[in-house]
Chain A
């Protein structure tokens, strides 16, 4: 095997010897006493040389982009073929307001749509539900029924433009995806033309986000798989899941846990869908991922590269995929909201730009750059534009997109890619040894892992061990009120309530009740729920009404408290 390595062992021996000499004669005591670690606890050497990657076999460990193991990228030409999609989140107010913001972003050169919903929509409550009070249209757009979905995408070319529809939970994904497809059908757009993504992650429903009412993990997981299975048969261009590492990381995990937990969910999905009689190649090519890129620049890039390889190994070795497209880990990146500060908010532009650069060097397929006002409210138009411009500057002014995987071969990055990959694998094994992803969500083990991380990190910030500029390091002594405009849409709640009350009067009651009755029964069957949700949506059942059925039929689960 030795001959396939990048360096022969004689050469490595020589380098080792010379390095020792360099340490003694040149570096001497200048390295300092302190040991440095990456965010994930990998010790950082003062200097990396070929000896760190002495075992690296170029052809089998790295290969070429567009070929297994895809460390260097999922497409052969990467950004020369197609630049990553500039996919800035937008969502606020009612669907009519949000429709205008989407058009604004598209006019300014955004190349994809990325819709975020308000909390009641995310959690499946109608705008007129008492539990929605104060949250309607605040952190995203309010969607109650098919009619709202139609207004949201009014005169937007959904057959040409891809839409990421950030439906966090499976229980709302099945409804919102049904609304999206029925909307398309009504507009005469064939389903096979619909390109886009729904998030659809059962961990988002049961672990990452908490809520007063939660359906049990196993049921949420079933709905997650239903949406994936439905899309694999009807929506060839749709990514029905975006395994959400991002929000895990934001809630409190390491990069290793972020990727490992998402992959463990992906493994469980594949097992379930195969058990239902599907072939891995029916659905794997449309599984997608969502990563959070924090501040440890090189390690985040290494994470992206390592995770592509792990995914390829899982899909091809474990699940025996034959279609090469099934092996491609495609991922969206959002820069890290948790690294942004409320003090000196303009500093956040620098943080986000560095994280955005890491995403490109990591080979992302689409990118959202966070806005500098993140710690205050949903982005204002000004802040959203700075984020969009950050992406465009990275794309056209820096020349980083014109060669594929430019950090390959860096002794440091390759060594990190190997080490972080090993750590991710170990953590997947740990989850599987505890019964798999559903079991660790049910038992609350996963919640404790997240809580422990969040608690420990906060302690490091308090003690100053973890430095944050402006917060506990280089703190400006002048008290200044930052001037941030706050985004508000107070009239949305009333508007949505008004529309709902009209809708409830107007719709065909008989058709509605029949569709809801069937849906209720199907909750207890083995059948895929999607067609029945579509029927209900078409009869103008609201998101909240359908959710109520899920809550009643699946029951509620107590979120593990700490």
Chain B
């Protein structure tokens, strides 16, 4: 079923560290998912792409400390577009104490630098509506 899963992956805002996002993009493709990598984008354009692409999953990568401000914004804007069933995931350098706040805001899961690809793909497969 992962052949049908479509992921939109983005670097959130200004964070410059693209290594993790790119490696994950390629690994999810290896798992049979269709992944559109947007590069660095702000919430407005991430949401626009998610709508255009008909994304099942939106992956947001940030190591720059903007997760609490820009992350929830993406969730809100997707809801405004009526896309409340899109699975929104975050990854990067995110302090553990911020994770409950992100989940409360509607981020489905947060993956750290040591998350395994298997964990991430399983999570996606089990949670895509």
**Chain A residues engaging chain B, CB cutoff 8 angstroms:** 119-120, 122-123, 125, 130-135, 138-139, 168, 208-212, 250-252, 338, 341-343, 375-378, 450-451, 454-455, 457-459, 462, 471, 481-482, 484, 486, 559, 561-562
Contact = CB atoms under 8 A, between A and B. Distances in A.
A255 B84 CA distance: 45
Contact of A133 (B15, B70, B97): B70
Interface string B38-51: 11111000000000
Contact of B22 (A208, A338, A455): A455
Contact of B19 (A120, A134, A454): A454
Contacts of B70: 133-134
Contact of A471 (B11, B41, B114, B117): B114
27 contacts: A122-B16, A123-B16, A131-B42, A132-B14, A133-B69, A134-B13, A134-B66, A134-B68, A208-B16, A209-B18, A210-B18, A211-B16, A212-B42, A338-B19, A375-B112, A376-B93, A376-B95, A377-B65, A377-B93, A451-B23, A454-B23, A455-B27, A462-B116, A484-B95, A561-B38, A561-B39, A562-B26
Given A210-B18, A341-B114, A486 B97 contact: yes
A559 B39 contact: yes
A562 to B, nearest CB: 5
Contacts of B19: 250-252, 338, 450, 454
A455 B23 contact: yes
Nearest to A493: B69
A132 B19 CA distance: 22
B113 interface: yes
Contacts of B38: 561
Contacts of B15: 119, 135
Contacts of B112: 342, 375
Contacts of B40: 210-212, 559
Given A134-B70, A210-B11, A562 B22 contact: yes
By Cβ-Cβ distance, the 9 closest A-B pairs, closest first, are A134-B69, A209-B16, A134-B66, A138-B65, A119-B14, A458-B23, A486-B95, A212-B40, A210-B18
B65 A139 contact: yes
- Interface SS of chain B: mixed
A272 to B, nearest CB: 25
B13 A135 contact: yes
A166 to B, nearest CB: 13
A138 B114 contact: no
A262 B66 CA distance: 30
Contacts of A122: 14, 16
Interface of B: 11, 13-20, 22-27, 37-42, 64-66, 68-70, 93, 95-98, 112-114, 116-118
B23 A212 contact: no
A562 B69 contact: no
A139 to B, nearest CB: 6
B14 A131 contact: yes
Contacts of B27: 455, 458-459, 462
Nearest to B44: A130
Given A134-B66, A462-B117, A125 B14 contact: yes
Given A119-B64, A120-B14, 20 more contacts: A119-B14, A119-B15, A134-B66, A135-B14, A135-B66, A139-B65, A210-B11, A210-B16, A210-B39, A211-B40, A251-B18, A252-B19, A342-B112, A451-B22, A454-B19, A455-B27, A458-B23, A458-B24, A458-B117, A561-B37
A473 to B, nearest CB: 12
A250 B39 CA distance: 18
A454 B39 CA distance: 16
Contacts of A210: 11, 16, 18, 39-40
Nearest to B93: A375
A336 to B, nearest CB: 13
A133 B20 CA distance: 22
Contacts of A377: 65, 93, 95
Contacts of A120: 14
A109 B94 CA distance: 31
A263 to B, nearest CB: 22
Nearest to B92: A375
A143 to B, nearest CB: 15
Nearest to B117: A462
B65 A134 contact: yes
Given A122-B16, A139-B64, A139-B65, A451 B26 contact: yes
A451 B15 CA distance: 17
B31 to A, nearest CB: 12
B19 to A, nearest CB: 5
B114 A131 contact: no
